[in-house]
Structure 1
Amino acid sequence: MSRVLVTGAQGFIGQVLVRRLLQEGLEGQPLSQLVLVDLSFRDAGCDARVRQIRGSIAQPAVLRAAMATQPDTILHLASVPGGASERDPALDRSVNLDATLQLIEACQALPRPPRFIYSSSIAVYGDQPAHGASEDQVPQPAISYGAHKLACEILLADASRRGWVDGCSLRLPGIVARRDENPGLASGFMSQVFWHLAQGQRITLPVSATGRCWWMSAATCVDNLLHLAGMDSSRWTPQRSFQMPVLHLGIAEVVDALARRFGVPAQQLVHYAPDPPIDRVYASYPPLATPRAEALGLRHDGDVERLIDNALGANALGADLKACG
């Protein structure tokens, strides 16, 4: 039996993760307690294993309440997304950097070092090389969001060296397909195109038709997070940071696959109006080689058709979370 803490539990990935934990436990082991932290919760139902803590993990009282549950495993997803963080540097630092460091440091008071899985981002790389990338690419963040993610990766590895946690960071690509049109998420167009075409609605994409992205469904992202949370940490590198394998797909390739799936005319519904910064940062990704991550058992969705299946399947489960506050 294990006690698990999830921050950002009501977010897009968090909801999928929580459903999986309640259904399957962690690596086949049932949960004795699942502690969820987020600003608010939509469901006030009841599952005796679950405790909801409302508020930001950046708030000292919320952090104290979460750590008082003495988690064995922490899955830290909470963050302010890149677009919003650029507009509000103080909030960005408070949540994306300071709160993560405080959460790591608070683990020193636990009876034993918890497994700590940190949700990092491909934003640590910054601008991409034109012809190819690898998991050994030197990070060069182009925005504060990426800089703070990279700093937290380093701090988590150092805390693991000190024995405060048994931690690892996993760099997430564009995860689809969230339903909300979050204005703070500059890569949100990657999800919006799924739902607009599913409903036969017009959409203007801020990238060129020839742009290419790194894609992953929320279901596969959660597979990877849980796999990392349950595996033998002696297999991890000293950096304790891994790039997830990705599907390297063109924007038009995904649009065409969605149009076929839903039987809609892509040329009539999709308009391209590239926003240069977004097109350069979020739709100019080269092929990515990740042999080390794949050797650990991390994976991508397989192909564009399975990406669509997995992305829509994760959302089809609904957002019903039965928990006790």
Structure 2
Amino acid sequence: MQTFDTTTTTLTTLRRGSQLYETERRLNAVLNNASVAIFLMDDRQHCVYMNRAAELLTGFSLTEVLARDCPLHDIVHHTYPDGRPFPLAECAIDRAFPENNQERGEEVFVHKDGHFYPVGFTASPIRDDETRIIGTIIEVRDITEEKAAAERQRLLTNELNHRVKNTLATVQSIAAQTFRGNTDVAVRQTFDARMVALSNTHNVLTAENWESASLRSVVEGALAPHALAEVDTARFDLVGPDTRLHPKVAVTLAMALHELMTNAAKYGALSVPEGRVGVSWTLEPGESGERLELVWTETGGPPVAEPTRKGFGSRLIERQLPMEFDGSADLTFAPTGVTCRLRIPLTALGWHGQERVTGRTAR
């Protein structure tokens, strides 16, 4: 194991005095026992201090770094992983000196022995009493294990999605054999469309590592089969803030929207050129947290009559969402067009990924 003379890893004292000496000694004790690597740069981006964790991280001792008398970038960040030189001017960490407080990001450093390793960093300028920038302080941590774990998770998620897709394909194959000669083509096409809708939702979730799904992506995915075939994009009006949905909510909501879209294409607003579909949603405070309220509205279609019996789509919408998520679903067959109002509690489900996607509204 590489060792360093840590007696040199101290902050340089400008003037000596008992109180100042004790303060410096305590500060060095704190910094050298910190698990995160800490670098202190002057106004030339030369490193003037690095703690013990920084020495272990980079392979360089402070004495070696001081002897190089060059920007720290040229010592630990001088080359891209593909071998190209990495100019100081392109360094995000260096931008923290003239520009930003709490500049955060990820980079790839070069160890003393030549191997590359990923790091996460936080960098901020240091200012004097007159607010002039006189240096930079940087906190750095090795994220090799985090990257490896994320890659393993990605591979597992992709494998899970692959197996789910195989299972859906098997279901379709079994259905094809079952329906053969006994079911008309329209019924078979409806079944296949439902399988595709379920598969598309799985794709959205896979892109998010099955942690959550974008509400807007779920809505757009459900409308996509019909929207892509339309020349007039004004037939659809989507209004509402984006948010993150639990995977179970995403799958069930996508299937409900698919059923509404299919019914609209066959019998409702999307069956005639002048028909329109509006999907609007809001996020409202509920008794136990945030609640999604989504309204599907059809206009401009042929006159609507109450169906004499409930099909799969109606049962899914009116029973599945309330049963699984303690929400409610109101499906109205008004003469002017179908309206469906869904209310789904979100924060009461106890899952991660609830953060609002700010600054973006579906229009």
TM-score range, shorter chain: under 0.3
User: Which one has the bigger strand percentage?
Assistant: 2
Structure possessing the higher relative contact order (Cα contacts under 8 Å, 6 or more residues apart): 1
Larger Rg: 2
Q: Taking structure 1 as the reference length, what is the TM-score of the superposition?
A: 0.22
Q: Taking structure 2 as the reference length, what is the TM-score of the superposition?
A: 0.20
